[in-house]
Structure formats: C-alpha cells, structure tokens
Amino acid sequence: MKKYLSLVTFSHTIFAMPFAFIGFFLAINTTNEPFLWYKLLFMVLCMVFARNSAMAFNRYLDRDIDAKNPRTKVRDIPAGRITAKNALVFTIINCLLFIVTTYFINSLCFMLSPIALLVVLGYSVTKRFTALCHLVLGLGLSLAPIGAYLVVTGEFALLPVLFSLAVLCWVSGFDIIYALQDEDFDREENLHSIPSYLGKKNALLASNILHVFAALFVIAPLFFTPLSWPYYIGLLIFIGMLIYQHQLVKPNDLSRVNFAFMTTNGIASVAFAVSFLFDIYYRTHL
C-alpha cells in the first residue's frame, strides 16, 4: 500500500480534494437537496479513484522518460519498486472502481464518467505534442467542483463552473512553475511544455497571467451568491499564496520551486475550502 501511495503521490490530493468539498457543499447550500452521507462518501471515492488512475497511468506512460531524467529517475517504476505491469493493472482497477461508483450516484455522473476519465488520463499523452499540456492538467483537476456538485444535484449550474475555472487557471499556472525544472530536459527529449517553448522568464509571465484569472474566478462568486467575512478571509489567503509563490521563484533561481509548488498551493486550497465551509456554517447557524 505504501508503494502505491507513493506511485500516485497521494499527498498531492490536497490540491483538488478541497475544491471537491466546495462543490459538494455549494450544492447543499444553494439548492433544496439534502445532505446525505453516502453521497459524500461516493464523492470522495470518485476523487480518489480518478486521481489514482490518472497518476498511475502517468507514471506508467512516462516510465522511460522518467528513467532518463535525473529529477524523476527515483520514481517508483524506474527505481524498480513497482513494475510497469502492476502500475497499469492498478490504473485499470481504479478506472473500473470510478465508473462503478458513479453508477450508484446518479445517471448523469455515470454517463459522464468515461469522459472524465478521458480527460484526466489524457493529460499524460499531451506533453508529447503540445505545450498546452499544463492546461489539460488544470482541466482534469477542474472537474472536481463540477463533479461534486453533480453528485448532489445531477444538474449543471453556473457557480460550480466559476470554481472550476479558478482551479483550471490555478493548477495550470503552478504546473508551469513546476515544469521550469525540466526546461532543458524537455527540449532535449522533444517534449512540449510552456517553459521549453517560451523560456523561464516568459513561462513565469504566463503563469502570472493564469493566476490573475484564478484570482478573478474566486472573486466572481461574490456577485452570484451571498457570502460573508469567512469567505473574504479565504480569498485573501488564496490570492496571497498565489502572489507569494511568484516571489519565491525567479528565472535565475529555482531553488524554492518545490516549496512554492507543494506548500503554498496546499495552504491555498485547504485554507480557501475551510473558509468557504465555515462561511456556510456561519450564515446558516450563527
């Protein structure tokens, strides 16, 4: 189990899972749908299964590339801790578990489950032909708020889309920062990324622009639903972490990329989600 948790870098669940909780409780708060524990459990399971399948497939597909890259050759498959065959089997099992779980939620989630898997698994292929691969990763994680909202309601709405757009821009932006580490390697191996295509300085500019849009999309819900001071605190923390990570990483200094990638974005997502959930509690109970 420890090996497979390492394979899928389970700690990175901290990025999308909080936004899934936002989508779930947004649906409870803005519709007449009741809170049901089994739906919450199914939502969490879908998030885990989808992410497991996406990460395991990424490691399986990139195993030869990872073995060549000094930064990634210590990953589980090139290091020999997990075989490529077992990683592929793990991917298939999680895909099937994801689809089966959606069957017990509602018909819309079940019908959309293959499309969701196509998006989250498709990211692993995109770096071979487009520098927009970062946006595809962002799109995959951005399904979290919309998907969680659909678990509760079985219907689409504008508000979860705003949060999903925020995730799309936020994740795409910080993935560009993370990819700065592989700029030279990507060029040598003919792999596509924003840093290898634009260079470090312009890649950071692109990341900045995406994070500006992420900030705008988390502000936008204020104009569509009542929100109070806890949400404003979450906004300040989230936007503050976006600004801070861009202070940490410079074109000529990538020594703090991992801190910017994991710590600041982990704080941003968790603090924002906690603030949102407390906002709902504050307005409905106090």
Confidence of residue 285 (pLDDT cuts 50, 70, 90): confident
139-143, 172-176, 261-265: the lowest-pLDDT one? 261-265
What DSSP state is assigned to residue 34? Answer: P
Confidence of residue 262 (pLDDT cuts 50, 70, 90): confident
Res 284: pLDDT: 80
Q: Does 8 have pLDDT greater than 80? A: no
Res 281: pLDDT: 87
The pLDDT tens digits of the residues spanning 52-67 come to 999 999 999 999 999 9
Model-level pTM?
A: 0.94
Average pLDDT over residues 153-179: 96
Confidence of residue 124 (pLDDT cuts 50, 70, 90): very high
Res 23: pLDDT: 97
User: What are 286's two structure tokens?
Assistant: 């106090």
CA distance 240 to 171: 15
The domain 2-285 is placed in CATH, from the list 3.90.1150.10, 1.10.357.140, 1.10.443.10, 1.10.357.10, at: 1.10.357.140
Distance from the first to the final alpha carbon of the chain = 43
CA distance 46 to 38: 12
Rounded to 5 degrees, φ, ψ at 250 are -125, 155
Q: What are the sequence ranges of the domains in the chain?
A: 2-285
Q: Which of 139, 141, 215, 161 is nearest to 23 (CA)?
A: 161
- Which residue is listed with tokens 């578990």? 97
Res 17: pLDDT: 92
Average pLDDT over residues 196-217: 97
Res 200: pLDDT: 95
The pLDDT tens digits of the residues spanning 172-183 come to 999 999 999 999
Q: Does 9 have pLDDT greater than 80? A: no
DSSP three-state, residue 16: coil
The pLDDT tens digits of the residues spanning 12-51 come to 678 899 999 999 999 999 999 999 999 999 999 999 999 9
Res 26: pLDDT: 96
CB 69 within 8 A of CB 186: no
